[in-house]
Structure 1
Amino acid sequence: MAFNNNKGEVEFPYDITDVDPEINQELLTDFTGEKTGFVQVGPKKYFFPSKFRSASSHFYNFQSRPSDLWVASFPRSGTTWTQELVWMIANDLDYGKAKAEPLTKRFPFFEFCVFMHDKTKEQLLLENKHSEEKQHFVELVSTPGYEFLPNITERRFIKTHLPFSLLPPSVMENKSKIVYVARNPKDVLVSYYYLNKLYRTQGYVNTFEKYWDYFEKSLNPWMPYWSHLKEGWEHRHNPNVLFMFYEDMNKDLPGTIKKVASFLNKTLNNDEITKLTAYLSIDNFKHNTSVNQIEMKDVRICNPNEEAFVRKGKTNSLGWQKEYTPDIIQRMEKWIEVNLKETDMRFPE
């Protein structure tokens, strides 16, 4: 590997190229949170806002510890649900702390900083000028994970949507534990559409039909979707990786709790499993102020006029069909069929 002479860091190994100028301008019109443009990374062309270019080597050189616990996924695949499940089991069911501290603090988002464009951040700071506390929070969530995580001395819990190929090599080298969760793209698409409308850092303003066009062409952050999931699937046999499907979590939450507890070398009795199952049930979860990102709404990072961060949590339901046109259903089915031909991964019914 090549090294940078000034810092002794490993060079980021992949090319980063700008999105085609015409497509970029179209994207900037529809995704108003980004102000500069978008890039694609490596041979699989993983899609990110412009800030990824300057942050890439810092992410790549981050030193993960053997004790670190990562939750990784493609967005809107049950990430927040999995984070709380993992954190609760690893912290011996500390309901008091879980209630007292928001999940964004207990389980920080490794690469969120690349979505906080300087101009968007400037606008948010201006809107929160009446409150030093809120301005401080905006500064906090804009800080790169590679800057603040090294200062945490206790066990670290880290959320990421980076695919395995873009994770810091130290994660696998040091055998940090990773829980990877995947979800059927029919449900992901709808949930991700609403998230892009909810977060002003994304600021999507066009239609669902147009959003599907971007999604199908892998022109949305952390895409391509299939490359992301296939990389996770390929690592499922690593002893430090637990690969799960959101559909299985939804169908059998007690079984999922037992599986995660075993992976984390924890033992829970039946009463503890029953209590945790109730705590994590979707009906309770979406009203849990510690996990539904109220703090993001308070500083106007989340658009108050859009749907909540934790939505329906359904699987294979008629819910997603409400947004789908017959044309999109047909294209989605074909898209899934073509991409599943290249893998033995199958989504649970």
Structure 2
Amino acid sequence: MPSSATITTTHFTKHHQSAEEKEEEEELKLLSQECKELLLSLPKEKGWRTPFLYQFQGFWCQPKEIQSIISFQKHFKSRESDVILATIPKSGTTWLKALVFAIINRRRFPPATTSDTSRNHPLLTSNPHDLVPFLEYKLYANNQVPDLSKFPDDDEPRTFATHVPYPSLEESIKKSESVKIVYLCRNPFDTLISSWHFMKILRPESLPQFSLEEAFKMYCNGIVGFGPFWEHMLGYWNESLKRPEKVLFLKYEDIKEDVVSNLKELASFLGFPFSVEEEREGVVIQEIAKLCSFDKLKELEVNKYGKAMTFSKHFENKHLFRKGEVGDWVNYLNPLMVKQLSQLMEEKFMGSGLSFKLL
């Protein structure tokens, strides 16, 4: 067994490597020696789209994510006007990015489809992930330490996204009284199914097939990216109860059910409330909802054929748009699974005030 001081990416003999070991070796090549040594001390379990997930600061994530999160925690410094969009994966992140971008930038980029200027709206030509960058997947990935002093190049607030649980956010974000955090979550049933479909796409072909039964068991044990899901949700939920002026907690299903009311609340929280005239006419709010809708984003050229570096070098934007439905889980989970996950949620959320509607 190699010591922590001598760990390399070749501590398996070539002739006896499993597919998981070979993939892990490739993953380790991209890491600093410091991060490799850290991994030796962390619990690990089978991963969803990488050979293994590691338990880091109480949550599960991939090796590359650990390295970028450490860099983010070490180097990022918030501004008082910053906006942080937080989600657990597959909870409507792309939608939230689009909505917030459209709300904050509606003066520069009117969303009205009948307006000539709206034809130049960035959401029509750029994927939302390119407009609102991830801290851990984009800005601090691959050993980068970006200079964010000139980001963005206008007067609007800096807007970033993250999957990092609340306790592991960089300290200046948590301590600030004015940095805004918007948290969007989704019914855990739908999050599970969406995650499973997404990870099957990203999972290397060299790794064994990943069944729904395996995914379900791991999910219920809390072993999922940035999970356990209940701890991720409760971290932001509890903070939103303590500091509602700082953390806005939204549910995917609620926005789908009443997009207008939720957009008003979101705009007001961000400090960009809709004017009396905008609310009276209702056109701007409706146009933002239409511009950022699942169907509209899915049909755009950039999201049909474009590629983004956010998730992997060959990732296609179209994989971000599967169904966007509420309740799709009924087509996949058997009664025993439904009972088990329902009981788990009841146990974990008991007494918190956080609950989710089933169908």
Instruction: Report the TM range for the smaller structure's normalisation.
Output: 0.7 to 0.9
- Cα 1:242–1:290 shift into 2, 3 Å: farther
Distance in 2, matches of 1:163 and 1:144, equals 21
Distance in 1, matches of 2:56 and 2:250, equals 26
Residues 173-212 of structure 1: matches in 2 within 5 Å?
173-174=175-176, 175-200=178-203, 205-212=209-216
Conserved? CA contact 1:73–1:180, under 8 Å: yes
**More divergent stretch after superposition (46-55 vs 81-90):** 46-55
Distance in 2, matches of 1:340 and 1:18, equals 27
Q: Which residue of 2 aligns with 1:4?
A: none
**Deviation of residue 254 (structure 1)?**
1.1
Conserved? CA contact 1:200–1:302, under 8 Å: no
Conserved? CA contact 1:107–1:157, under 8 Å: yes
> What secondary structure sits across from 2:81 in the alignment?
coil
Distance in 1, matches of 2:186 and 2:140, equals 26
> What secondary structure sits across from 1:296 in the alignment?
coil
- Cα 1:299–1:159 shift into 2, 3 Å: closer
Amino acid at match of 1:60: Q
- Cα 1:90–1:144 shift into 2, 3 Å: farther
Tell me if 1:219 matches 2:208: no
**Deviation of residue 348 (structure 1)?**
4.6
- Structure 2 residue corresponding to 1:231, chosen from 235, 255, 259: 235
> What secondary structure sits across from 2:181 in the alignment?
strand
**Deviation of residue 211 (structure 1)?**
0.8
Residues 266-277 of structure 1: matches in 2 within 5 Å?
266-268=272-274, 269=278, 270-277=282-289
Distance in 2, matches of 1:346 and 1:208, equals 24
Q: Which residue of 2 aligns with 1:102?
A: 127
Q: Which residue of 2 aligns with 1:40?
A: 55
- Structure 2 residue corresponding to 1:347, chosen from 311, 335, 356: 356
CA root-mean-square deviation: 3.0
Distance in 2, matches of 1:104 and 1:85, equals 12
Q: Which residue of 2 aligns with 1:66?
A: 80
- Cα 1:332–1:224 shift into 2, 3 Å: same
Structure 1 length normalisation: TM-score?
Answer: 0.75
Residues 86-101 of structure 1: matches in 2 within 5 Å?
86-92=100-106, 94=109, 95=118, 96-101=121-126
Structure 2 length normalisation: TM-score?
Answer: 0.73
> What secondary structure sits across from 1:47 in the alignment?
strand
Deviations 1:73-93 (A, max 9, x none): 111111111111001111126
> What secondary structure sits across from 1:158 in the alignment?
strand
**Deviation of residue 183 (structure 1)?**
1.1
Q: Which runs of 5+ in 2 are unaligned?
A: 1-37, 110-117
Q: Which residue of 1 aligns with 2:254?
A: 248
Q: Which residue of 2 aligns with 1:128?
A: none
Q: Which residue of 2 aligns with 1:125?
A: none
Distance in 2, matches of 1:51 and 1:274, equals 40
**More divergent stretch after superposition (286-295 vs 168-177):** 286-295
Conserved? CA contact 1:60–1:168, under 8 Å: yes
Tell me if 1:296 matches 2:308: yes
**Deviation of residue 308 (structure 1)?**
2.8
Q: Which residue of 2 aligns with 1:168?
A: 170
- Cα 1:246–1:153 shift into 2, 3 Å: closer
Count of aligned positions = 294
Q: Which runs of 5+ in 1 are unaligned?
A: 1-14, 114-139
Amino acid at match of 2:291: Y
**Deviation of residue 292 (structure 1)?**
6.9
Distance in 2, matches of 1:333 and 1:218, equals 14
**Deviation of residue 152 (structure 1)?**
2.2
- Cα 1:147–1:292 shift into 2, 3 Å: farther
Conserved? CA contact 2:306–2:316, under 8 Å: no
Amino acid at match of 1:320: W
Distance in 2, matches of 1:86 and 1:103, equals 10
Tell me if 1:285 matches 2:310: no
Distance in 2, matches of 1:309 and 1:149, equals 27
Amino acid at match of 1:232: Y
Distance in 1, matches of 2:148 and 2:204, equals 22
- Cα 1:83–1:56 shift into 2, 3 Å: closer
Q: Which residue of 1 aligns with 2:62?
A: 49
Conserved? CA contact 2:151–2:158, under 8 Å: yes
Q: Which is higher, the Rg of structure 1 or of structure 2?
A: 2
Q: Which residue of 2 aligns with 1:135?
A: none
